[in-house]
Structure 1
């Protein structure tokens, strides 16, 4: 099964709630969110989304390729709040119905930190997790979606 096929239940337009926290002990901040999930260039899945940080509009794009095996997927990701002026690359795959992507980013002067993105088409949820070296990963973002009336899925 391709990533496009795996994301089929999410194809269409969505509305929902974005929860964000920076540190594990922080309270989540909630904002309205939208998402559009589709197919790009026949073989690629795309998830474009919007949310806000303290009233400041934010947006992001996840472009996915490959197949839905445990290690068959790759992705690039940009987000106006999280990634700065460059994209992050990810690898991973589908385990127990969840697309699990793993990437890393520089955290000078120490070692790189990790970032995980999990996409759960079966319940229309996308989560993001920070991976600090020497610590357990912790969830930073939860994007929970519901059909917005224009949804194909």
Structure 2
């Protein structure tokens, strides 16, 4: 089984932030706050022009993550690259924390299907940062402690 071989060979080391270009500022700010709270975060700031590098580095980032935080929106749904990231994380059974990045957005299509039973956190600006950030940290801590117990 591919998943069990992967788990045996790769030790998680970070929280991964998955986002589309339109949410780059929001993702960067979130990364800064997580790092200030002591989390090791994988956040791709580059535009990654070389497709081969993009896929291999993204795959490795997902494989080495304790949890993947996905900032979802209509733009995220429309991106083929972010769709691949989300599906790969799901296939590896990585814990995913869904973060709604677009106010009042209701996912449909492949994103609606993959998020349909998820309890997401709204980071779109609808609620103050102080309201959602502690919840996000609690969820991350829960997933990290679960992985470390195994």
Say whether the fold is shared (TM-score over 0.5).
Answer: no
TM-score (norm 1): 0.26
Larger strand percent: 1
TM-score (norm 2): 0.27
Larger helix percent: 2
